[in-house]
Amino acid sequence: MSLLVLGRNGQLATDLQQAAQQRGMACTALGRAEIDIGDVNQLLRAINVTKPSALINASGYTNVDGAESEGELAFKLNEAAPRAMAEAAAQAKLPFLHVSTDQVFDGTKQGAYTEEDKPNPINLYGRSKLGGEIAVQDHHPDALIVRVSWVWGPSGDNFVKKLLQWASARDELSIVADQIGRPTYSPALANALIDLAAMPNRPKGLLNYAGGDVMSRADQARRVLDASRAHGGPYAIVKDVPTSAFPTPAKRPLNAELAIDKVNALGVPTADFETELRDCIASLLQGKIS
């Protein structure tokens, strides 16, 4: 099996390349410096050259607050580009996996969001990602759209790294306690996407993938900082505050919990947060949380 990954230097794209290498799998990753990800002809040429077994979109505009002032760019990267990718993959009769987000929901539901729940994004980022989901389904009906939540890990920029940076400079951190979700370890997500791409009877449509534990942002912060302290890293006391205490350009869904019953039934592992944190925290601290 071989992969063509769209995205090169981002968190998930980096982890996909590493996971493929660890599994002895050929993987070509192309970022915006190498290809116009919204150009069907360029995408088809890349497919013809690399001859992959599957195409995975790990690119996109991910700055939730920035999208409020950069809407045109967000829709270009999160809706128009996936549309082109889906069209190219369909023409090449190639399996296509596209990564979406919990932010397509408004966060008002009691309990976990399933694949059947109706989206209702409350910020522009979420609207652009929902637009991408619809475009992919319209142009590649057999594509698999994987919704993820609170992605973190050793690569890229994420909440866990920010916590360690903040704790290096402050003794107390105010963290929102009314936002809940499932922290999703990026290397585990990368391996899950490869597993899904390799399935002979690959699912299609929508599928949630997220970590095994549900927690608030404040609880997540406490776990991270406790682990950091145990490894001699930075530590700070976490003070619970409501989301209303931190006005941001983009509204956040308070409930970002995704149901993971379907992906578990497929036999795709979703590890617990403590295990993932133990595997990652030492390397983060050794790398001085870059």
Domain 2-157+182-214+256-271 listed as CATH 2.40.50.100:
no
Q: pTM of the predicted model, to two decimals?
A: 0.95
Single out the catalytic residue among 125, 185, 209, 235.
Answer: 125
pLDDT at residue 103, rounded to an integer: 98
- Mean pLDDT for 141-169 is 95
Residue 252, helix vs strand vs coil: coil
Instruction: Point out the least confidently predicted range of 54-58, 83-87, 92-96, 280-284.
Output: 280-284
For residue 239, what pLDDT is reported? 98
Q: Which amino acid is at 8?
A: R
DSSP state of 154: S
Annotated catalytic, 185?
A: no
Please check whether residue 125 is in contact with residue 67, taking contact to mean a CB–CB distance below 8 angstroms. Answer: yes
pLDDT digits (tens, 9 = 90+) for 252-268: 999 999 999 999 999 99
- For residue 183, pLDDT over 60 is answered with yes
Residues 126/135, Cβ–Cβ less than 8 Å: no
